Amino acid sequence: MTVPETPDGPVQPDGVRPIGPLAALDPSVLGDLNQLRTDFTRFMLQYRFGVDEVTTKIGILREEFRLLHDYNPIEHVSSRLKSPESIIGKVARKGCDPSFEAIRASITDIAGIRVTCSFASDVYRLFDMLTGQSDLTVLEVKDYIRSPKPNGYRSLHALLEVPVFLSDGVVPVIVEVQLRTIAMDFWASLEHKIFYKYQRSVPSDVLDGLAEAAETAHRLDDLMETLHHRVHNGDAVVDRPDNTLVPTDDVLERLRAIRTQPRTR
């Protein structure tokens, strides 16, 4: 790719002009840049911790369900942080103020978590359990399951604010959580690849095919959930118990015996 030249030097595609080799800079500018690097790293770390907090919450719900309710509503959890480079690209595109406070307020997808559930009812169940937690604030919800996008995209999106406790205080961090079923996820990842392959101008017959595939995926979700309820009557697949947590029958028998023994001093 050719980088356009201007009288002041090359400009990146997003309009940001690089400052050149750091070693050639005036020491005071270099000092400023070092401070900026520290501040930017601190900013990114807060998002990493925000993702860790919410991922832990999701992991706890998953384990609790698996061990106590013999049911696992979550198939897969993944997370990603936007890179510093793409954050700056978005700042330049949106024309937002480049202070960290302004970036924090206007770019809400720096931290993202995607949760793939077995069925649509699990998506809502998990969403309710998560957003019901008192330390999470729900800033925004976009329900593309009840109201799919025109292209057929389905998912439940929530912007959650989680407090991150650092050595010098608490920082509220925004984390975008996307919840969807396996079928919705399959469709979205294929659509994403197609979208980028055609550089956003997808031919209309491919768009029609995608819309039809989205409906098929939706029908599959409904059918699988109906079958699931019929076969398991609401409670589902039991994973192998984890013997470090779930006591065996022998342990329970021994505990019962100890409890019924007369106590001697």
Binding to ligand 0O2 by residue 191, rule CB under 6 A? yes
Among 157, 161, 186, 224, binds ligand 0O2 (CB under 6 A): 157
Binders in 99-128 for ligand 0O2, by CB under 6 A = 109
Number of residues near ligand 0O2 (by CB under 6 A): 9
Choose between 66 and 180: whose C-beta lies nearer to ligand 0O2: 180
Please tell me the distance from the alpha carbon of residue 215 to that of residue 140, in angstroms, as a whole number. 26
Residue 176 annotated to the active site: yes
Binding to ligand 0O2 by residue 153, rule CB under 6 A? yes
Among 17, 42, 149, 232, binds ligand 0O2 (CB under 6 A): 149
Among 145, 188, 210, 217, binds ligand 0O2 (CB under 6 A): 188
Binding to ligand 0O2 by residue 17, rule CB under 6 A? no
Q: Name the residue with the smallest CB distance to ligand 0O2.
A: 153
Given the residues 5, 63, 176, 253, select the one marked as catalytic. 176
Q: What Å distances lie between residue 245 and 58, 68, 242, 248, 259, CA to CA?
A: 19, 10, 6, 9, 20
Per DSSP, the three-state class of 264 is coil
* Alpha-helical runs (H) found in the chain: 27-68, 84-94, 100-106, 120-131, 182-197, 204-232, 249-260
Please tell me the distance from the alpha carbon of residue 148 to that of residue 40, in angstroms, as a whole number. 36
Burial status of residue 95 (CB atoms within 10 A of its CB: 0-12, 13-18, 19 or more): exposed
Active site residues: 176
Q: What residue ranges bind ligand 0O2 (CB under 6 A)?
A: 109, 142, 149, 151, 153, 157, 188, 191-192
